[in-house]
Structure 1
Amino acid sequence: MATRLVQINMKARDDAALGRFWAEALGWGIDHEAPGVTNLEPVGFAYPAPAAVCIDLVVSEEPKTVKNRVHLDLATTSDAHQAELVARLTDLGATLADVGQGDVPWTVMADPEGNEFCVLEPREVYRDTGPIAAVVVDCADPRGMAGFWGEAMDWTVHEVTDGFASMRSARGVGPYLEFIRTSDAKSGWNRVHLDVSPYRGDDPAAEEARLRALGATDPGIDQSAISWTILVDPEGNEFCLLSPR
């Protein structure tokens, strides 16, 4: 038994408008499974599959007050492509952002609702990931996070150091999941979080029990009205265990 990362969940004041931005940014299609929920995935994509980590935008009235602990890194193929992408995203409503990055070769930006993301300089490791190079999680202990998520999912761990860890689907396709060491403490609920799903035919209750045995815990909220399960990883980051697909 195992889970796989199928999407990220992003809170939004206006899910439709923010969905249009990210659909244009990534070249993806848009769907709406319910009022207040906008779904983004590559055109012609058969969800779920390791070639992409999709995006669900869910309406929320809670304001963004701190830097997100989960963000996207976008891939580019050349210096010219990086400059063109930054310019195009600016035209779509993104702005340059300062998160204390200093003089770096990548460009830190914020989407129209202030969610940080990076437009990376061309890197060989991301040559075949698609538009999203990586889903990046700030953490205190990349080794510990790689240990938990490496057991939680059937993804392959590629690199682990005291400051950085990365993993990717076992098929070697799609974006990476990366953990970067930061001194910033987690504050409140994450506006962006991971959604994982068991495989079709797996027992979700057994998978939940397995994740708890690995170190996941309960967020301490009433979940009686939802069909999925919200858990918390060892560093307090919320994530959702969806129904098997």
Structure 2
Amino acid sequence: MALRLVQVNFKARDDSALGLFWAGALGWGVSSEEPGATSVTPVGSAWPVPDAVSVDVIAVPDPETVKDRAHIELATTSAAHHAELVARLKELGATPADVRQGDLPWTVLADPEGNVFCVLEPRETYRDTGPIAAVVVDCADPRAMARFWGEAMDWTLHEVTDDHALLRSAEGVGPYLEFLRTPDLKDMSNRVHLDLLPYPVDGQAAEVARVEALGATPADVGQGDVPWKVLADPEGNVFCVLGPA
């Protein structure tokens, strides 16, 4: 039994505009099955994509503007690719972001709605991830987060220290999930969260019960009567367990 990480969910004032930004950033396509929801997936791929994590953008009236606990990091293959991608992202509407990062080899930007993300310098670790190198979550205890999420998704732990943990799917495809120790989490939001999907043989109810046994708790974010289940991990990071695909 395990859950699949299928998409990163963004809250936005304008889901269509932000979806188009991320489609341009990733070189993917956009679709919308209902008003207020825009999906960004690799062109020609059926959802859920087995070797990628999609982007799902949901319109909300007034999304929080404080720093997100989670963000996306984009992969590059060369210095020239890094420069080209940063330039293209700025043309699409990204702006430089100052998160007190200092002088680092990667570039920190914000999308048109203020969500911070990084464009990494070329790294061997991310050579085969696709355009999204990693989804990074700020946390208090990377070791504990790695245990919970590794068991929730049956992902492989590649690195772990007191300051960070790095996991990837057992199949070795798609982006990594990284946890970074962060001193002060109280002013951060869950504007960006992870959506997980059970395998058909497992079912939603069984998987919700399983991750609750691992330490997840039900969360109320005003979702009302919806087909997905909203939970929080042991550090309060909201995530959703989706219904049948």
Q: TM-score scaled to structure 1, two decimals?
A: 0.96
Deviation track 1:120-145 (CA, whole Å, cap 9, x = no partner) reads: 00000100101000011011110000
Deviation track 1:61-114 (CA, whole Å, cap 9, x = no partner) reads: 224321111100000011111111111111111000000100100000000110
Aligned counterpart, 1:191: 191
Over aligned residue pairs, what C-alpha RMSD do you find?
1.3
Query: Quick one: structure 1 residues 196 and 117, their matched pair in 2 at CA, closer, same or farther if it must change by over 3 Å?
Result: same
Distance in 2 (alpha carbons) for counterparts of 1:176 and 1:7: 13
For the residue of structure 1 that corresponds to 2:217, the secondary structure is: coil
Distance in 2 (alpha carbons) for counterparts of 1:36 and 1:220: 20
The ranges of structure 1 where at least 4 consecutive aligned residues each deviate by more than 2 angstroms after the TM superposition are 186-189, 220-224
1:74, 1:118 within 8 Å by CA — same for their partners in 2? yes
Distance in 2 (alpha carbons) for counterparts of 1:185 and 1:161: 19
Written as runs of structure 1 = structure 2, the 5 A alignment for 1:65-76 is 65-76=65-76
Distance in 2 (alpha carbons) for counterparts of 1:39 and 1:152: 24
**Letter aligned with residue 92 of structure 1:** L
Distance in 2 (alpha carbons) for counterparts of 1:139 and 1:203: 29
Aligned counterpart, 1:161: 161
Aligned counterpart, 1:61: 61
Structure 2 residue runs of 5 or longer lacking an equivalent are none
Written as runs of structure 1 = structure 2, the 5 A alignment for 1:84-123 is 84-123=84-123
Distance in 1 (alpha carbons) for counterparts of 2:67 and 2:189: 12
Distance in 1 (alpha carbons) for counterparts of 2:63 and 2:198: 32
Query: Quick one: structure 1 residues 224 and 145, their matched pair in 2 at CA, closer, same or farther if it must change by over 3 Å?
Result: same
**2:160 pairs with 1:144:** no
Structure 1 residue runs of 5 or longer lacking an equivalent are none
For the residue of structure 2 that corresponds to 1:39, the secondary structure is: strand
**Letter aligned with residue 44 of structure 2:** G
1:10, 1:191 within 8 Å by CA — same for their partners in 2? yes
Aligned counterpart, 1:18: 18
Q: TM-score scaled to structure 2, two decimals?
A: 0.96
Deviation track 1:199-218 (CA, whole Å, cap 9, x = no partner) reads: 01223111111110000011
Identity of aligned residues (%): 67
Distance in 1 (alpha carbons) for counterparts of 2:103 and 2:109: 14
The range that moved more, 22-31 or 58-67, is 58-67
Aligned counterpart, 2:126: 126
**Letter aligned with residue 207 of structure 1:** E
Q: CA deviation at 1:220?
A: 4.0
For the residue of structure 1 that corresponds to 2:218, the secondary structure is: coil
**Letter aligned with residue 120 of structure 2:** L
**Letter aligned with residue 4 of structure 1:** R
